[in-house]
Amino acid sequence: MMNRVKFIEIDQLKIAYQVEGIGHPVILLHGWGCEANTFKSVFESLSNSHQVYALDLPGFGLSENPPTAWDASDYAKLLSSFFDKLNINKAHLIGHSYGGRISIVLAAEEAEKVSKLILVDSAGIIPRRTVKYHLRISISKIGRLIRHCGTFGNRIADRLAHRAGSRDYQEAGAMRATLVKSVNQNLRPILPRIQAPTLLIWGENDIDTPVSDGKIMEEEIPQAKLVVLDNAGHYSFLDQSQQFFQIVSNFLD
C-alpha cells in the first residue's frame, strides 16, 4: 500500500482513498480492473510537489460497488462530491484508461473544478465496429435467447458469453453491467467543451485504446497536446516511467 488508507462516505458508498503531500491538489484516477496502488510510483513522485489524492473507484480496490449499473457520468458525479466533501476547490486530474473517461466528463461538465487535465491511454472513443464485433453481438443475442431453455440452455449460454466477451467482460463479475454501460458511452461529443489545458500521453503500442484515439482527442479538445511514448503499451506510465514523470512535471509546473 502507498500510505494509510482513508475512507469517506459519499451517497451511502464507502470510498477508499489515499492522500499525501502539500501543494496544488492532484487527483489520480485508475483504469478498469485496477486500484489506487496502480499509480503508486506516480503518487510518490508527485507528492513531493503537490497534494496528491488516489482513489479506489467504486467497484474496485477497497471501495464499495455502485448500487446500480454506472457509466462515466455517474462516476464523475461521485468525484465532484469527493471534491466538495474534502473542500477541494480545483485540482489537476490524471486519468488512466477508464479513469480518463471520468476525467473527461468532469472536465467538460464542471470545468471550474479542473485546473489541468492529463489523459493517459484514455478510453472514451467508441471504436469502429469490426466484423468480429458484430459476430460477438450475434453470439451474445443467441445466448440470451437460449437461456429460456432451462438448465442446459443456461450452460450453453454461459459458454457462448465466455467466447463472445472480452477479458474485462469475463472478469467483471458484479461490475459487468457497469462495464457494458460504460463502453457504449461515446464521450467524443463533449470533448470540445473541455476548457482546461490538456496533455494526452499514449503508448505507441497501446492495443486497448490505440494512438488513433489520442489523435481524435487532440483534434477535438481545444487546448490539447498529444505525446506518444516509444516502446510503451496501454500502461505507458509504467512502461516509460521516467519519461512520463518528466513530461507530467513539466506540464504541471
Angle at 31 between CA 193 and CA 120, to 5 degrees: 55
pLDDT given at position 172: 66
Kindly indicate the confidence band of residue 134, based on its pLDDT and cuts at 50, 70 and 90: very low
pLDDT in tens, 31-40: 999 999 999 9
Per-residue pLDDT, averaged over 110-128, amounts to 95
Per-residue pLDDT, averaged over 77-105, amounts to 98
pLDDT given at position 127: 81
The pair phi, psi for residue 225, each rounded to 5°, is -135, 125
pLDDT at 217 over 80: yes
Kindly indicate the confidence band of residue 105, based on its pLDDT and cuts at 50, 70 and 90: very high
pLDDT given at position 164: 43
Q: What is the DSSP letter of 34?
A: -
Residues of the chain with pLDDT > 90, as a percent, come to 77
Kindly indicate the confidence band of residue 5, based on its pLDDT and cuts at 50, 70 and 90: very high
- Beta-carbon contacts of residue 17 (< 8 Å; ≥ 6 apart): 5, 6, 7, 8, 36, 53, 54, 55, 56, 82
- Beta-carbon contacts of residue 239 (< 8 Å; ≥ 6 apart): 203, 229, 231, 232, 233
User: For 59, how many CA atoms within 13 A lie in the half-sphere containing its CB?
Assistant: 25
Average pLDDT score over the chain: 88
pLDDT in tens, 149-202: 656 555 554 554 545 445 655 566 679 999 999 889 999 999 999 999 999 999
pLDDT given at position 253: 86
Question: Cell digits for 37?
Answer: 496502488
pTM for the whole structure:
0.84
pLDDT given at position 137: 38
pLDDT given at position 133: 37
d(CA 145, CA 136): 14
